[in-house]
Chain A
Amino acid sequence: DVKVTQSSRYLVKRTGEKVFLECVQDMDHENMFWYRQDPGLGLRLIYFSYDVKMKEKGDIPEGYSVSREKKERFSLILESASTNQTSMYLCATWGNLANTGELFFGEGSRLTVL
């Protein structure tokens, strides 16, 4: 089974702090994604990466950056956290374009910014 592990399930940070959310997968998938999920807004794509050191902006990249130094690890960085970044953050992976297209999600990281 694919395992996607997010390092922190619950975080509380203060406005202006730098926040790192880490995601590790064990299935050698090329593609990794960061979403945020908010009530009434659904899942929105922040960034994705299709290879090591490769990244592309999603629909809402403002205020976020990402790092992918190794294939199995994809990090989301909030350079200066703000209260409107309070949300559930979900990491996901996807094998390749030829497979079923299923996204495998981590357990999520619920971030509260005070």
Chain B
Amino acid sequence: QKEVEQNSGPLSVPEGAIASLNCTYSDRGSQSFFWYRQYSGKSPELIMSIYSNGDKEDGRFTAQLNKASQYVSLLIRDSQPSDSATYLCAVAFSGTYKYIFGTGTRLKVLA
């Protein structure tokens, strides 16, 4: 059974701090990794994708992938109250339509 694990939170950070969200996955065949943000009552939207080991930066967001440890993380620098949402980690398998989603980490940024 392929699994994606996330701490459900809530993770509370003060405004301006770095928020660190973590995700582990069980299948070494995983090829593509995604972070989606979901505001309460809304649908998920993609904020980062990463495919190879290392860091990928996009504005205040950095995704980190370590395939040896089967670990992917999302760092949010200078956190804002508008970043308060649930963050879903998703893993996909090359050449397939199969995504596995984690249950999400709820982030609260305190003003």
Contact = CB atoms under 8 A, between A and B. Distances in A.
A binds B: yes
A107 B104 CA distance: 18
A60 interface: no
Interface size range of chain A in the complex: 20 to 34
Interface stretch (A11-19, A37-45, A64-72, A79-87): A37-45
Contacts of B8: 40
Contacts of A90: 43-44
B104 A42 contact: yes
A107 B43 contact: yes
B56 to A, nearest CB: 12
A43 B45 CA distance: 13
Contact of B43 (A44, A56, A94, A106): A106
Contacts of B98: 45
A30 to B, nearest CB: 10
A3 to B, nearest CB: 12
Contacts of B95: 97
Contacts of A50: 97
A100 B46 CA distance: 11
Contacts of B74: none
Contacts of A101: 32, 34, 49, 92
Nearest to B6: A42
B24 to A, nearest CB: 14
Interface string B28-63: 000010101000001111100100000000000000
B103 A41 contact: yes
B25 interface: no
B103 A40 contact: yes
Given A40-B8, A90-B43, A107-B42, A102 B101 contact: no
A56 to B, nearest CB: 8
11 contacts: A33-B97, A40-B103, A41-B103, A42-B101, A44-B101, A45-B99, A48-B97, A102-B34, A102-B49, A105-B44, A105-B45
